[in-house]
Amino acid sequence: MSATILYHIHGIRSYTYLKQKLVPGGIEFYIAAGATQLVCPCCGSTHVWQKGTKERRFRSLPLGRKHTTIVLLVPRVFCHDCKTTRQIKISFAEEHKRYTRFFERHVLDLLLSMTCQDVAEHLGLSWDTVRDIEKRRLTRDFAKPPLKHVTQIAMDEIAVRKGHKSLTIVMDFQSGPARKSLALLYIFSMRKTRKC
């Protein structure tokens, strides 16, 4: 039952379910890496030797009103091919993050109808963590818009607060208001190479 919950609700596959533990206000799932995941994170070689483990905790989707923590013993491996010792890559979380990808998606869904502060209070997170998740999504979606086929642009300027601030909107004139709007910085950098 718990392995099914890990797969379908938390998006964790190819890990061995060990146990679960009820803690005050939440539940912890203990998992271990399978033999197929013991590969070198640098070169991808399977000629590795395990050199200990380190416990890492990841915040995941809540089950009802209880927060969920995934506890993983992350193996460190020595690669015989590239001679490095590193922790293996974790498939269900981004590098250096303490939450799963499913939890990140849950936070982004809540941000569609709530403020950062409301989401942080609802999930018991810090405001900085919620804002970091939102900034990573904005960077991923809007950092470098495709400008290869842009021939005409439309620009408009609106007042955000009368007499205090203005907002400039730039978009591809032929495709209209697209999901990925053009960044003004890239348009002006293009002017050096070709005329708009």
Query: Alpha-carbon distance 10 to 71, whole Å?
Result: 13
Contact present, 27 and 18 (Cβ < 8 Å)? no
Query: Alpha-carbon distance 82 to 93, whole Å?
Result: 25
For 65-92, write each residue's pLDDT tens digit.
Answer: 899 999 999 999 999 999 999 999 998 9
| Alpha-carbon separation of residue 84 from 6, 76, 177 (angstroms) | 31, 10, 49
**Per-residue pLDDT at 193 exceeds 50:** no
Apex 25 CA angle, 19 and 27, nearest 5 = 15
Query: Alpha-carbon distance 104 to 130, whole Å?
Result: 9
Note the pLDDT of residue 163: 66
For 27-59, write each residue's pLDDT tens digit.
Answer: 999 999 888 888 898 898 888 988 888 999 999
- Provide the whole-model pTM: 0.72
Query: Alpha-carbon distance 32 to 55, whole Å?
Result: 10
For residue 143, give both structure tokens: 């950092």
What's the number of CA atoms in the CB half-sphere (13 Å) around residue 16? 9
